[in-house]
Amino acid sequence: MSKYTNIVVYCGSHFGNNPAFASLAGRLGEALGKGGFHMIYGGGTVGLMGLAADAAMAAGGRVTGIIPQVFIEKEQAHRGITELLEVPDMITRKQKMIEAGDAFIVLPGGIGTLEELSDTFSHYRIYKAPQDRPPIVIANIDGIYDPLKALFQNWLTLGFIEKEDFASIHFCRALAEIMEVLKG
């Protein structure tokens, strides 16, 4: 049994142009559902996030979406999940997701996904000692996050972050690696 129960998944509201991204999102959702994890995500029906949520639900999982009003108005709210929390704005959404997670998975995505990662990493870096931080798994499928990994290394080399800041960051290239981190 994993010591992590509540898994926050950050990912794109688009599919991207590499089929490996959608494949991973679906397989991850299925693995979370079958594994008894509680998936928490952005609450949408579109892109990788909708695909992961649908797969988790189809596998018998529990899925909670946290969606801001702006996306409800665009009719992107996923009404077919276990629980949908409606919040006023993106700031509240991120805060609730950070508070809810025992572990975090960053799938391929764009600027919103990067913002969620950045806020989560910064929050735990400020408020938790390195040994007490939850894992942040970056799904580096087909090298999508290689430039981010290089940026982190550059920050380390230039003295803007410390080596212990990386203790909770895991760059994974396959679903099996991701699930291994979740086993704790």
Nearest to 65 by CA among 31, 93, 99: 93
Report the pLDDT value the prediction gives residue 139, as an integer from 0 to 100: 98
pLDDT attached to residue 166: 87
Structure tokens, 103: 């572990």
pLDDT, position 79? 94
Tell me the per-residue pLDDT of 37-50, one tens digit each, with 9 for 90 and over: 999 999 999 999 99
Closest alpha carbon to 44 in 4, 84, 91: 84
Closest CA to 96 of 133, 125, 67: 67
19 Cβ neighbours under 8 A, 6+ residues apart? none
Question: Average pLDDT in the 81-108 region?
Answer: 97
Going by pLDDT thresholds of 50, 70 and 90, the confidence category of residue 23 is very high
Q: What fold, for 6-182? A: Rossmann fold (3.40.50)
Q: Which segment of 2-6, 67-71, 86-90, 142-146 scores lowest on mean pLDDT?
A: 2-6
Mean pLDDT confidence for 95-100: 97
Q: Give the burial class of 138: count Cβ atoms within 10 A of its Cβ; 0-12 exposed, 13-18 middle, 19 or more buried.
A: buried
- Let me know: does 65 contact 58? Beta carbons within 8 Å: no
Residue 162, both tokens? 């410390």
Three-state DSSP at 40 gives: strand
As a whole number, the mean pLDDT across the chain is 95
| Interval 12-21: pLDDT, tens | 999 999 999 9
Structure tokens at 26: 């679906």
Q: Record the pTM.
A: 0.96
Tell me: the pLDDT tens digits for 55-73? 999 999 999 999 999 998 8
Q: What is the pLDDT of residue 1?
A: 57
C-alpha atoms less than 13 angstroms from C-alpha of 31 in its C-beta half-sphere: 18
Quote the percentage of the chain above a pLDDT of 90: 92
d(CA 140, CA 145): 5
Q: How do residues 98-153 score in pLDDT, each as one tens digit? A: 999 999 999 999 999 999 999 999 999 999 998 999 999 999 999 999 999 999 99
